[in-house]
Amino acid sequence: MTTVLQENIAGARVVRAFAQEQAESEKFGGRTVTYIKRVIDAFRYWVVRMVSTSLAFSMVTPIAVLYGSYAAIRGGLGIGDILICLGLMRPIERRLHHIMHLIETYQRAAAGGERVFEVLDEEPSIQSHPGAQAMPRSSERKGACVEFGGVSFGYEPDKPVIADVSFTAQSGQTIAVVGHTGSGKSTLISLIPRFHDPTAGVVLINSKDARDIRLDELRQAIGIIFQETFLFSASVRGNIAYGLPDADEDAIRAAAQAAKAHDFIMELDDGYDTIIGERGVTLSGGQAQRIAIARAVLLDPDVLIMDDATASVDSETERHIRETMRQVAEGRTNFIVAHRVSSVAHADQILVLEEGRIAEQGTHTELYNRGGIYRRMCEQQFAGRIDED
Do 107 and 172 belong to one domain?
no
Do 158 and 231 belong to one domain?
yes
Average pLDDT over residues 279-307: 82
Q: What whole-number distance in Å separates Cα of residue 126 and Cα of residue 192?
A: 12
Domain stops at, among 86, 102, 120: 120
Task: Give 111 or 35, the one with higher predicted confidence.
Answer: 35
Q: Highest-confidence range of 16-25, 28-37, 60-69, by mean pLDDT?
A: 28-37
96-140 confidence digits (pLDDT tens):
778 877 887 888 788 888 888 888 888 888 888 888 888 887 655
Domain stops at, among 65, 86, 120: 120
Q: What whole-number distance in Å separates Cα of residue 125 and Cα of residue 200?
A: 16
User: How far, in Å, are 6, 251, 281, 352 from residue 332 at the CA level?
Assistant: 40, 18, 31, 22
Do 44 and 178 belong to one domain?
no
Do 95 and 188 belong to one domain?
no
Question: Which bin fits 34, alpha (ψ -120 to 50), beta or left (φ > 0)?
Answer: alpha
Are 65 and 90 a contacting pair, CB within 8 Å?
A: no
For 173-226, the three-class secondary structure string (H helix, E strand, C coil) is CEEEEEECCCCCHHHHHHCCCCCCCCCEEEEEECCEEHHHECHHHHHHCEEEEC
User: How far, in Å, are 50, 62, 70, 248, 357 from residue 57 at the CA level?
Assistant: 11, 10, 21, 68, 74
Residue 389 lies in a domain: no
The phi and psi torsions of 122 (rounded to 5 degrees) equal: -70, 120
Residue 137 lies in a domain: no
Do 238 and 378 belong to one domain?
yes
Residue 216 lies in a domain: yes
Are 301 and 217 a contacting pair, CB within 8 Å?
A: no
CATH number for the domain that contains residue 190: 3.40.50.300
Residue 62 lies in a domain: yes
Share of the chain above pLDDT 70, in %: 91
Count up the domains in the chain and report the number.
2
The whole-model pTM stands at 0.71
Range from 61-65, 182-186, 266-270 carrying the lowest mean pLDDT: 61-65
Three-state DSSP class for 58? Answer: helix
Q: What whole-number distance in Å separates Cα of residue 217 and Cα of residue 200?
A: 23
Q: Shortest CA distance to 57 belongs to which of 88, 103, 98, 93? A: 93
pLDDT band at 36; cut points 50, 70, 90: very high
Residue 88 lies in a domain: yes
User: How far, in Å, are 167, 184, 225, 357 from residue 351 at the CA level?
Assistant: 9, 11, 19, 9
Do 182 and 309 belong to one domain?
yes
256-287 confidence digits (pLDDT tens):
888 888 888 998 888 899 888 766 667 877 78
Are 167 and 359 a contacting pair, CB within 8 Å?
A: no
Range of the domain at 311: 146-382
CATH number for the domain that contains residue 94: 1.20.1560.10
Are 348 and 326 a contacting pair, CB within 8 Å?
A: no
Do 94 and 209 belong to one domain?
no
Do 114 and 151 belong to one domain?
no
